């Protein structure tokens, strides 16, 4: 019996386990190894690691965590979790069963990308969702924003801080008069035609329009819709919340979900995430789970 089972061993999961390891608690981290940013060659904006590879950051963090003897690391996928306070079980796809008194879900999200030929292959290299993570490296070149719905207005206005911006309405977004006024003030161009495909040009990305033309860009931003990467929180009956970006697991101030003893941290538990927030949430979930072992809920 572990004190805490941590499902997901990326930034949030390692940060959670570290707090518990330092409290000398027995922790199992079960990780499938598919970090959300595995498509990107560099991670930006994370203090003291700006520009490092996502893999290096995770490997160093894991090595430091595993120096604590009360931590076990299991490379596997959890297919099912069940149980309740003081008696949770996690079953993996290899058929192993782990038992723990508390459960932390740090399982990340899936990104649902717009269906444009060639787009998925450029995800994390020329196609991004977050300008804070990858806008700077576009060197103030021409930027595209591909509309997926009403969030396109907000996204295009924010992205235009990083360079001259074209909003591709792609048949799913029609700005109203007020929005057109804002686009005008900010110099944001609107391209109404649907996209036929995108291609890597080496230096940037070429957007092919169904009307026949092409637009050359340094990079393209999309509003990827996110949802929890695995169904465990739903299986356990945790509240799932909606946001304009998709769905995520609802938590309170200590990252505890609506199910006592189940905590959630990182992207899976917030509307929009990054490494810094994932580590912060993870540290809070670790401390929250630890407190709940000391002061059990009544």
Ligand X SMILES: Cc1cc2nc3c(=O)[nH]c(=O)nc-3n(C[C@H](O)[C@H](O)[C@H](O)COP(=O)(O)OP(=O)(O)OC[C@H]3O[C@@H](n4cnc5c(N)ncnc54)[C@H](O)[C@@H]3O)c2cc1C
In whole angstroms, how close is the CB of 272 to ligand X at the nearest point?
8
Residue 29 within binding range of ligand X, rule CB under 6 A: no
Q: How do strand 205-209 and strand 214-217 relate by DSSP bridges? A: antiparallel
Q: Which residue among 4, 16, 30, 147 contacts ligand X (CB under 6 A)? A: 30
Q: Which residues contact 60 (CB under 8 A, 6 or more apart)?
A: none
- 138 and 163 in contact (C-beta within 8 Å)? yes
Question: What are the distances in angstroms from CA 242 to CA 22, 115, 246, 247, 293?
Answer: 34, 22, 6, 5, 30
Widest Cα–Cα separation across the chain:
66
Minimum CB distance to ligand X smaller for 17 or for 207: 17
In whole angstroms, how close is the CB of 59 to ligand X at the nearest point?
12
Residue 138 within binding range of ligand X, rule CB under 6 A: no
In whole angstroms, how close is the CB of 71 to ligand X at the nearest point?
16
Tokens of 70: 């009360």
List the interface residues with ligand X, window 227-266 (CB under 6 A).
229-230, 232, 266
Q: What is the 3-state secondary structure (H, E, C) of 157-205?
A: HHHHHHCCEEEECCCCCCCCHHHHHHHHHHCCEEECCCEEEEEECCCCE
Q: Which residue among 111, 191, 208, 256 contacts ligand X (CB under 6 A)? A: 111
Q: In angstroms, rounded to a whole number, what is the distance separating the alpha carbons of residues 35 and 192?
A: 35
Pick the piece of the chain touching ligand X (CB under 6 A) from 8-16, 17-25, 179-187, 201-209: 8-16
- 168 and 145 in contact (C-beta within 8 Å)? yes
Minimum CB distance to ligand X smaller for 119 or for 188: 119
List the interface residues with ligand X, window 67-106 (CB under 6 A).
77-78, 106
How many other β-carbons are positioned within 10 Å of the β-carbon of residue 75? 12
- What is the three-class DSSP state of 208? strand
Residue with tokens 């959630």: 264
Pick the piece of the chain touching ligand X (CB under 6 A) from 32-40, 145-153, 161-169, 214-222: 32-40
Q: Which residue among 6, 8, 65, 153 contacts ligand X (CB under 6 A)? A: 8
Minimum CB distance to ligand X smaller for 73 or for 123: 123
Residue 107 within binding range of ligand X, rule CB under 6 A: yes
Q: Which residue among 21, 23, 44, 179 contacts ligand X (CB under 6 A)? A: 44
Residue 39 within binding range of ligand X, rule CB under 6 A: yes
How many amino acids of this chain bind ligand X (CB under 6 A)? 40
Q: Which residue among 1, 24, 33, 234 contacts ligand X (CB under 6 A)? A: 33
* Torsion angles phi and psi, residue 60, rounded to 5: -65, -40
List the interface residues with ligand X, window 187-226 (CB under 6 A).
none
Residue with tokens 């996209």: 195
- What is the three-class DSSP state of 45? coil
Minimum CB distance to ligand X smaller for 44 or for 101: 44
In whole angstroms, how close is the CB of 282 to ligand X at the nearest point?
7
Positions in the binding site for ligand X (CB under 6 A): 7-13, 30-37, 39-40, 43-46, 77-78, 106-108, 111, 123-124, 133, 229-230, 232, 266-267, 273-276, 278
């Amino acid at each position: 019996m572990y004190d805490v089972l941590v499902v997901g061993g990326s930034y949030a999961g390692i940060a959670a386990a570290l707090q518990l390891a330092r409290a000398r608690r027995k922790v199992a981290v079960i990780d499938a190894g598919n970090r959300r940013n595995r498509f990107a060659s560099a991670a930006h904006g994370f203090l003291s690691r700006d520009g490092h590879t996502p893999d290096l950051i995770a490997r160093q963090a894991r090595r430091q965590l595993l120096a604590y003897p009360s931590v076990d690391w299991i490379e596997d996928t959890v297919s099912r979790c069940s149980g309740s306070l003081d008696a949770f079980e996690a079953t993996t796809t290899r058929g192993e069963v782990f038992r723990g008194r508390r459960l932390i879900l740090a399982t990340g999200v899936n990104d649902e990308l717009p269906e444009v030929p060639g787009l998925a292959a450029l995800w994390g290299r020329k196609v991004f969702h977050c300008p804070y993570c990858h806008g700077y490296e576009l060197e103030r070149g021409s930027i595209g924003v591909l509309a997926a719905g009403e969030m396109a207005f907000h996204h295009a206005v924010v992205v235009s801080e990083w360079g001259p911006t074209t909003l591709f309405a792609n048949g799913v977004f029609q700005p109203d008069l007020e929005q057109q006024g804002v686009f005008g003030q900010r110099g944001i161009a609107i391209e109404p035609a649907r996209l036929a495909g995108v291609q890597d040009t080496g230096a940037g990305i070429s957007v092919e329009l169904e009307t026949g033309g092409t637009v050359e860009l340094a990079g393209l931003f999309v509003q990827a819709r996110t949802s929890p990467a695995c169904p465990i929180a739903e299986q356990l009956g945790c509240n799932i919340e909606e946001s304009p970006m998709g769905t995520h697991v609802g938590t309170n101030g200590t990252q505890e979900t609506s199910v006592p003893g189940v905590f959630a941290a990182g992207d899976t538990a917030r509307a929009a995430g990054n490494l810094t927030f994932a580590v912060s949430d993870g540290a809070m979930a670790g401390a929250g789970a630890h407190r709940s072992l000391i002061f059990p809920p009544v």
